[in-house]
A and B are shown apart, each in its own frame.
Chain A
Amino acid sequence: MSTFDATSDAARRPFKGRRTHFGDLILQVTAGLAAAGAIFLVGMIIYKVVEGARLSLSTFGLGFLTHTSEINGDIGGKAFLIGTAVTSIGALALATPLALGVALFLSELAPGWIRGPVTALVETLAAIPSVVIGLWGIIVLIPNLRLHVMPALHSTLGFIPLFGPVTGTGASIFAAIIVLTIMILPIIASISRELFLGVPAELKEGALALGTTRWEMVRGVVFPFARGGVAAAMILGLARALGEAIAVSMVIGAFNGFSWNLFSAGDTLAGRLANDYSSPGTAPTATSSLFYLAVILLVFSIVVNLIAQVIVRRAERRQGLVR
């Protein structure tokens, strides 16, 4: 994450004793202003989004988070919060084991000739725009889910309320989970692969020399070593899932309510933003409430990213000790 720390303060110090050249001053001031500009920009983003939400914030307060919606009027945050939580946690639960499988496969098991192409495929997937995945979701995924996958899941696992009857068009929370899984799988997989490859060979070889099987070596050496990093990768995946708007809005079915049946339509914070961008309803607070959703999203993304940073820093420190 932060590998730019190579020029230490000590290395930079020789500059300090010198008499400052006029050109130095100009460059330093210009570049310094740019850096200040970056901080100002982030401050502006937070300020503008909160300012936009002010009317809704003062009208509803935190009650916004727990109410759904009123007649002819405005949205509440509740359904979107639940929808966001269910879709992103669902996607994380599906993507993590798959991603770890891919990472293990690529770092430990795969024959050499497979590694290159599969690694390239996984990294390519990370770069596919969400609108393309959404297009695939609408035209390919949803009809297949409705015709084959959902009925099969309902008839076998129907006793779990999550897999209820299929009454809708196929655009559903379930479809959103699948689409998000596809989007975050490559992120978690490629970071985990690098982490697994970063486990010092002497540790792995040591374990194998002690007579462990390959799986025991992975469980005893690779997983513990990479644990912090994998957690950070999962959190980055979660952040992506929380904030994804386009692909989700294309497949989730824009229903402002929540049902435990994953096969029914729902909505997320970001999905609603993408959906209502142009016409946020006719209530006086409607536009402001959309900004309120953005505020929630902003808070989530900042908190989640800071947690990821902390985990990465801690993991780096620990790995530094090992090396």
Chain B
Amino acid sequence: MSTIGTAPASLLRPADRLGRRRIVNRAAEGVAWLTAAVAVGLLGLVIYSVARRGWSQLNLDLLTKAQNPYAGPGVAQGLANAFVGSLVIVAIATAMALPFAMLIAVYLSEFAPRRVKTSVGLVLDVLAGIPAIVIGIFVFGLIVVNHGQSGLAASFALAILMLPIVFRTTMEVLALVPQSLREASLGLGVPRWRTTLSIVLPQSIGGVLTGTVLAVARVAGETAPLLFTSSIVGAGISANPQHALEAVPLAIFELSESPYPTDQARAWAAAFVLLMFILLTSLVARWFAARSKRKLGRGR
């Protein structure tokens, strides 16, 4: 409040020189329009480039054929191995992160004393702020140095990135579950663990899904952790997470520096598919979020 009180009084007083003030206002509005136009133009340009180049390169081979090192020039190649690899890595990462994140959220919102809650929340905020490349080098030091690269190591790295996202959204939704619901259940003699598992958690499933989808959208495009954990890959389609697997962002990273137009074309097509996937998942996440908020809001 104090800052508003100290705002220059002259600003809030309709003084004279109205004409000049109107001009200043116009100029300021003009600048806001202009910066918005520049920013939106810049952002639009990126999406437009990817869409234009990616769309024209899109074909079924991309999804059905693997990168083929035996192919001579002119043989159709795709990135099926990268799509399968990404699918496996992200699926396993989700399976690792989801239960872990939910349990933490349940503990903090249902059991933990306030001080524990704040400090664990802070630790997870710190975790969310650690750059993906540092997570990559951590998993490299923890797993890869002794056991070699693998899809599992990559999944573990991505799971660490997913954890704070799923946790945060689950926490937000658990906080929205009406306290009266918990009390009613307990009042009926339902033990606390059953209240939590069968009353509170089902209410928050929408939030959990939102968080999961958001986290999947985030990590599906991550390259940095994969460099350290799953980048030495062979040819051919493989879904065995015990070996290093190719992934879509890695493929884009590698193909982007190629001098061959056909490689660049595949990079654009893969970027386009990745972008569409992320847009779609973000939309789904938004839908889940809106839905669960609406429902819980009604419950109050």
Q: Which A residues are within 8 Å of any B CB, using their own CB? A: 1-7, 9, 11-12, 14-15, 18, 21, 23-24, 26-28, 30-35, 37-39, 41-42, 44-45, 48-49, 51-52, 97-102, 104-106, 108-110, 118, 121-125, 127-136, 138-140, 181-182, 185-186, 189, 203, 207, 210-216, 218-221, 224-225, 227, 239, 242-246, 250, 270, 273-274, 277-278, 290-291, 294, 297-298, 301-302, 304-306, 308-309, 318, 321-322
Contact B46 A133, beta carbon cutoff 8 Å? yes
Is the Cβ of A210 less than 8 Å from the Cβ of B12? Answer: yes
Instruction: Please tell me if the beta carbons of A102 and B253 are within 8 angstroms of each other in the complex.
Output: no
Beta-carbon contact of A131 and B221 below 8 Å: yes
Q: List 12 contacting pairs A-B, 8 Å CB cutoff, sorted by A.
A: A39-B123, A41-B127, A48-B141, A118-B40, A124-B47, A127-B279, A138-B257, A139-B268, A215-B24, A221-B4, A243-B134, A273-B137
Residue B109 CB within 8 A of the other chain: yes
Q: Which residue of A lies closest to B7 (CB)?
A: A220
Known: A101-B34, A124-B47, A133-B46. Is A21-B275 also a contact (CB below 8 A)?
A: no
The bracket for how many chain B residues form the interface is: 35 or more
Chain B residue at minimal CB-CB distance from A23: B193
Residues of B within 8 A of A211 (CB): 13-14
Task: Find out whether the CB atom of B36 lies under 8 angstroms from the CB atom of A34.
Answer: no
In the complex, are the beta carbons of B134 and A298 less than 8 A apart?
yes
- Check if B84 is an interface residue, CB within 8 A of chain A: no
B window 134-174: CB within 8 A of A: 134-138, 140-142, 160, 163, 167-168, 171-172, 174
User: What is the bound-complex CA distance between A182 and B43, given in angstroms?
Assistant: 7
Q: Is B90 an interface residue (CB 8 A)?
A: no
Contact in complex: A129, B21 (CB < 8 Å)? no
Q: Given A101-B39, A109-B29, A132-B274, is A31 in contact with B106 using a C-beta cutoff of 8 Å?
A: yes
A277 B231 Cβ-Cβ under 8 A = yes
Most chain A CB within 10 A, of B43, B168, B174, B282, is at: B43
Contact mask for chain B residues 248-266; partner A; CB cutoff 8 A; 1 contact, 0 none: 0100110011000000100
Point out the residues of chain A lying under 8 angstroms from B1, CB to CB.
Answer: 318, 321-322
A-side contacts of B32, CB under 8 Å? 101, 104-105, 108-109
A6 to B12 Cα, complex, angstroms? 36
A interface majority secondary structure: helix
A305 to B125, CA, bound (A): 8
Majority-rule SS of B interface residues: helix
Other 9 A-B pairs with CB < 8 A, given A21-B191, A134-B256:
A101-B38, A102-B39, A122-B39, A134-B253, A136-B49, A213-B22, A243-B132, A278-B227, A322-B1
Which residue in chain B gives the minimum CB-CB distance to A179?
Answer: B46
With A23-B193, A105-B33 as given contacts, are A302 and B142 in contact (CB-CB < 8 Å)?
no
| Residue of chain B at shortest CB distance from A221 | B4
Q: Are B218 and A101 in contact (CB under 8 A)?
A: no
By a CB distance below 8 angstroms, the chain A residues around B66 are: none
A277 contact set on B, CB distance < 8 A: 136-137, 140, 227-228, 231
CA of A230 to CA of B202 in the docked complex: distance in angstroms? 36
A298 to chain B, nearest CB (A): 5
Given contacts A18-B186, A130-B221, A306-B126, contact A5 B175 (CB under 8 A): yes
Stretch at the interface among B56-64, B68-76, B114-122, B234-242: B114-122
| Cα A211 to Cα B192 with chains together (Å) | 58
Least distance between B157 CB and chain A CB atoms (Å): 11
**Minimum CB distance partner of B127 in chain A:** A42
Cα distance A259–B106 in the bound complex, in angstroms: 52
In the bound complex, CA of A225 to CA of B138 (Å): 40
Q: A102-B35, A215-B24 are in contact. Are A294 and B11 (CB under 8 A)?
A: no
Residues in B with CB closer than 8 Å to A24 are: 191-193
* Bound Cα distance from A291 to B142, whole angstroms: 12
The answer to whether B134 and A30 have CB atoms under 8 Å apart is no
B153 to chain A, nearest CB (A): 13
Closest-CB distance, B48 to chain A (whole angstroms)? 10
Q: Which residues on the B side are within 8 Å of A52 (C-beta)?
A: 137, 141
CB-nearest residue of chain B to A206? B12
Q: Are B134 and A216 in contact (CB under 8 A)?
A: no
Q: In the bound complex, do residue B134 and residue A45 qualify as a contact, i.e. CB atoms below 8 Å apart?
A: yes
| Residues of B with C-beta under 8 A to A220 | 4, 7-8, 11-12
Complex contact A246–B223 (CB within 8 A): yes
Shortest distance between the CB of B129 and any CB in chain A (Å): 3
- Tell me the complex Cα distance, A130–B271, Å: 11
Residues of B within 8 A of A133 (CB): 46
Give the complex CA separation of A98 and B72 in angstroms. 48
Q: Is the CB of A304 within 8 A of B129?
A: yes
Question: B124 contacts which chain A residues (CB < 8 A)?
Answer: 38
- Cβ of B88 < 8 Å from any Cβ of A? no
